[in-house]
A = this chain, B = another copy of it.
């Protein structure tokens, strides 16, 4: 599959280049716009497959950009980035038609997952995102986890951690890597967060044989049979 083309719109250059680095690393072609006007111009010119659009911008904010897009019949899917204190209703009302939104701060993996989800919904995408290992199954679409056929209720953080481990099954990931990918990009985790959540997951999904979550002392954790 040729990578989809994304447009990142944010007035903060730092975040923009961070996102560009991360997303192009995930196989996307990425272009940037620093404000709403530039965004509209580039959407028209490049016709990206999806726009990552910051809501809070001077002049033309994200909503307004989206409104103008739709008013001329453009239905390019949009993924809004909103601040934590943004009124959710307002966002929700605008995220119809296949769009979605994500609150800052978010983890990069979360963003990538959302982008894929939106592209899947809007495009004719195949890819039913199911990850599995032995009798552990995880469905990203349904946001569902089952072990040996029975549903397991997990919290958002537990879910993200499990997904990261599952995607990297067979490979050892360090606690630092886990923090990088599962927690917010500006989360300051110097405590025992990862250990704690590994513990939660173990209790919820690893009570039965075979054990899937393994500790590699001094290195990290890994998910595998045996």
Chain B residues positioned under 8 Å from A96 (CB to CB): 18, 21-22, 108, 180, 185
- Copy number in this complex? 2
Most buried by B among A21, A185, A217: A21
Query: Is there contact, CB below 8 Å, between A70 and B155?
Result: no
| Interface bin, chain A | 35 or more
Q: How far is the CA of A14 from the CA of B70 in the complex (A)?
A: 9
Residue numbers in B under 8 Å from A126 (CB-CB): none
Binding site for B on A (CB under 8 A): 13-14, 17-18, 20-22, 24-25, 67, 70-71, 75, 88-89, 92-93, 95-98, 108, 122, 141-143, 151, 155-156, 170-172, 176, 179-180, 185-186, 188, 190, 216-219, 222, 224, 226
A sample of 8 inter-chain contacts (CB < 8 A) reads A22-B97, A25-B97, A141-B170, A142-B222, A142-B224, A143-B216, A155-B217, A156-B219
